[in-house]
Structure 1
Amino acid sequence: MDSTRIHASYLIETPLAPEAVAEVMAGEQSCGTFKRVEGETDALRARARANVERIELLEAVAAPSLPNALLERQGNPGPWQRARVHLSFPVANIGANLPTLAATVAGNLYDLGESTGMRLETLQVPAAYRQRFELPRQGIAGTRAATGVASGALVGTIIKPNVGFSAAQTAELVGRLCAAGVDFIKDDEVCADPDHAPLAQRVPAVMAVVREHQQRTGKHVMVAFNITDEVDAMRRHADLVQREGGSCVMASLNWCGYSAIQALRRHTPLALHGHRNGFGALSRHPLLGMGYQAYQVLWRLAGVDHMHVHGLEGKFSQSDVEVIEGARDCYTPLAEGLDDTVMPAFSSGQWAGTVPATWAAVQRDDLLFMSGGGILAHPGGAAAGVASIRQAWAAVRAGQSLQQAAARHAELAQALAFFGRG
């Protein structure tokens, strides 16, 4: 890969010639505008303009996917041609500036009057450029080391109810979950620093029971405290977690923004759990927004350690194919010769019965398998819920069906009967 250029691919839809639209995209996102201006010399264009690397024509459709007032005013009748456009951008235009990288590859392109569909699909950066950004501080290996889980999936859960518990109630639940045998516990994305359980009270209360559990059993349970806030507050919250012996903080990536996450990453050595809530607004329409591969590249450049991918056979709208591809993206180094992989977090409707699909899809257990209701709603209690998930993982790794394993394990049998499938 050329060390001087960043590559991106887009799915576009247009009633115009895709070749002409690709040139507009390249000019708009580098040195040009809709008309060539004074100072935009051939020499400057050769140095600073984005290049159209190639175009793949796809199908044509009879109706536009998205409204476009300019094309409507022009009375353009279609048809609307779809194409995959590959562009490259000079590194020198951007520098080690993550917000500007995002603005370059995913900025005004979405507003172009020439298109009725625009989706950033993939993003590749050269090795030297990737090294100018933050690397994960913990990643897969550090997360395993902190929790003492040398092999096997890390079984995690989420504080439920999402909000409403006091600090003392939250700590009591965390104590029960630690005793149940989980490796990882996270706050929900809607519970950060509420009046009824501020972090100043919740972190010390929770970490007191985590430390007590560790002293008694030798097991450190990683708790991802949701510290989503403005930058200075997140720094203070991260310091509090670290002082109390914690190992992880969580932030809602889309709402904090690239600069805030970079500032947090540079400030704390704790594992940074990246929650993607809101990603559906960027990705759910197939002709708009951003695919997960490009999305996770940008956030990995900010230095996160864990990335949410949702879950297989889960409760959200994403297809299993998208979830699987997302996990594989997390396992793929951003540049050759670097170990900057991050741990995918599988969540959303996960329980023992979704373990076979997860194992079959990724064939590895370097992941957070997070189950809320699958643990907390298990008819035998939280400990039985954790046991059922571990039993399911042991079964699939041994090439057995869940039904075969359930004949030997009451907790798994209860889960299959209660949750209704397996």
Structure 2
Amino acid sequence: MRDDRFRATYLIETPLDPAKVAEVMAGEQSCGTFTRVEGETDALRERARAVVVSVEQRDEAGVPSLPNAWLTRREVPGPWHLARITLDFPVANVGANLPTLASVVAGNLFDLGEVTGLRLEAIELPAAYRRRFAMPAQGLAGTRRLAGVKDGVLVGSIIKPNVGLSAEDTAALVMRLCEAGLDFIKDDEISANPDHAPLAQRIPAVMAAVHRHRDRTGKNVMVAFNITDETDAMRRHADLVAREGGSCVMASLNWCGFSAIESLRRSTDLALHGHRNGYGALSRHPLLGIGFQAYQVLWRLAGVDHMHVHGLQGKFAQEDAEVVSSARDCMTRLAGEVDDRVMPAFSSGQWAGTVPATHAAIGHTDLLFMAGGGVMAHPGGPAAGVASIREAWDATMRGETLDAAARGHAALRQALDTFGAR
């Protein structure tokens, strides 16, 4: 890949010649349209047109994955060819403009008449181009420093009930969770600035609890306040978190948008916890939307420090293999030379029993392991829930089975007995 171009890879389905469709894609997303226009000189095309790098034909299907009125009007029959298409785009067409970058690699491609399925799978950037965008303000090292966790997994939990608690009730729960031994606590994605616990009240109340715990124990627990909102409000709330001595804010990426997250990143050096809720709408169909590798590239260019990847053996629809590849994507440098890795955040149905599979698949502890019910619903209470997770990680790192470790650890034994039969 040339230094003046970036690359995108797609999976497409079409009844037409995939090589010809690839040329349509390249033209549509650069200097062309469905026909050559006045002023589209050879010199301009040489400078500004995307180019087809490769077309790899795969299987065929007997029926289309998605309806397509354009093909129906033309009575184009099957079979429908699956192909992997790679395109290179000129950097100069976009510049350091993240919303436009996203519209170039995706945009109208999803609506092309020539395809009955299209999925953006991967994005690759040259190093010089990557450096024109935001870096994580904290990343792995900063997150560890702020949370006071030099090595090992960061254990976290989520405020439960998700909504309904007052600011005072939330602060009391946070104190209890701090005392339980957590490294990280976050708001639920659906609780941002509710009338019953506005951030103007909740942030000072929660941080007062965190500071009391810190003053007593020396442990400064990281709290991710959900500040999802319009841009100016998010900046105001981030400023309040900073004034109150907080270290982290959270935003629902898909609903805030690239520009809002970029603006938030420029206005604060707090750790930015990127929540991907809604990503399933972009990803669950195998021939529509955006795969996680491409998705996380775009959000990392906005400057997030943590990215949700769901969890192994969890409560959501994603297969474990997808969770694992997503975590590896977060831990892969985008352009090789700069450490822009972000902390993968494991969540969704996690508890002590999912620890061995997580470590076996990931092979390291540079991750945030969050359990809501696995902590809050433990029969011994939150402290026992946290203890069971730490006991599970300790046993796994020693190469010991959880059943063997549970013989000497009551909290782990209770967790296995309570959640193991799910």
Quick one: distance in 2 between partners of 1:187 and 1:72?
48
Alignment of 1:20-419 (within 5 A): 20-419=20-419
- Residue by residue over 1:155-200, the C-alpha shift from the partner in whole angstroms, topping out at 9 and shown as x without a partner, is 0000000000000000000000000000000001100000000000
- State the SS of the aligned residue for 2:7: strand
Quick one: distance in 1 between partners of 2:381 and 2:2?
55
Structure 2: runs of 5 or more not aligned: none
- State the SS of the aligned residue for 2:134: coil
% same residue: 72
Kindly indicate whether the alpha-carbon contact (under 8 Å) linking 1:353 and 1:421 is maintained by their aligned counterparts in 2: no
- State the SS of the aligned residue for 1:132: coil
Quick one: distance in 2 between partners of 1:2 and 1:73?
40
The code of the aligned residue for 2:155 comes to: V
Root mean square deviation, CA, Å: 0.7
The code of the aligned residue for 2:302 comes to: A
The code of the aligned residue for 2:9 comes to: S
The code of the aligned residue for 1:271 comes to: A
- State the SS of the aligned residue for 2:392: helix
- Residue by residue over 1:272-326, the C-alpha shift from the partner in whole angstroms, topping out at 9 and shown as x without a partner, is 0000000000000000000000000000000000000000000000110000000
The code of the aligned residue for 1:391 comes to: E
Kindly indicate whether the alpha-carbon contact (under 8 Å) linking 2:350 and 2:374 is maintained by their aligned counterparts in 1: yes
**Once the 2 structures are TM-superposed, how far is the Cα of residue 75 of structure 1 from its aligned partner?**
1.2
The code of the aligned residue for 1:374 comes to: G
Quick one: distance in 1 between partners of 2:341 and 2:265?
16
- State the SS of the aligned residue for 1:81: strand
- Residue by residue over 1:17-70, the C-alpha shift from the partner in whole angstroms, topping out at 9 and shown as x without a partner, is 001100000000000000000000011001100000001000000000001011
Quick one: distance in 2 between partners of 1:391 and 1:354?
12
TM-score where L is the length of structure 1: 0.99
Kindly indicate whether the alpha-carbon contact (under 8 Å) linking 2:5 and 2:88 is maintained by their aligned counterparts in 1: yes
- State the SS of the aligned residue for 2:63: coil
**Once the 2 structures are TM-superposed, how far is the Cα of residue 421 of structure 1 from its aligned partner?**
4.6
* Structure 2 equivalent of residue 420 of structure 1: 420
- Residue by residue over 1:200-258, the C-alpha shift from the partner in whole angstroms, topping out at 9 and shown as x without a partner, is 00000000000000000000000000000011000000000000000000000000000
Kindly indicate whether the alpha-carbon contact (under 8 Å) linking 2:407 and 2:413 is maintained by their aligned counterparts in 1: yes
**Once the 2 structures are TM-superposed, how far is the Cα of residue 142 of structure 1 from its aligned partner?**
0.5
Kindly indicate whether the alpha-carbon contact (under 8 Å) linking 1:51 and 1:88 is maintained by their aligned counterparts in 2: yes
- Residue by residue over 1:95-144, the C-alpha shift from the partner in whole angstroms, topping out at 9 and shown as x without a partner, is 00000000000100000000000000000011000000100011110010
Kindly indicate whether the alpha-carbon contact (under 8 Å) linking 2:353 and 2:420 is maintained by their aligned counterparts in 1: no
Quick one: distance in 2 between partners of 1:34 and 1:301?
31
Quick one: distance in 2 between partners of 1:2 and 1:389?
46
Quick one: distance in 2 between partners of 1:238 and 1:326?
28
Quick one: distance in 2 between partners of 1:290 and 1:311?
19
- State the SS of the aligned residue for 1:359: helix
- State the SS of the aligned residue for 1:225: strand
* Greater than 2 Å deviation, 4+ residue runs: none
Quick one: distance in 1 between partners of 2:332 and 2:383?
34
The code of the aligned residue for 1:57 comes to: Q
Quick one: distance in 1 between partners of 2:362 and 2:4?
33
- State the SS of the aligned residue for 2:120: strand
The code of the aligned residue for 2:198 comes to: P
**Once the 2 structures are TM-superposed, how far is the Cα of residue 420 of structure 1 from its aligned partner?**
2.2
Quick one: distance in 1 between partners of 2:366 and 2:8?
28
**Once the 2 structures are TM-superposed, how far is the Cα of residue 10 of structure 1 from its aligned partner?**
0.2
Structure 1: runs of 5 or more not aligned: none
The code of the aligned residue for 1:105 comes to: V
- State the SS of the aligned residue for 1:215: helix
* Structure 2 equivalent of residue 12 of structure 1: 12
The code of the aligned residue for 2:19 comes to: E
TM-score where L is the length of structure 2: 0.99
Kindly indicate whether the alpha-carbon contact (under 8 Å) linking 2:306 and 2:345 is maintained by their aligned counterparts in 1: yes
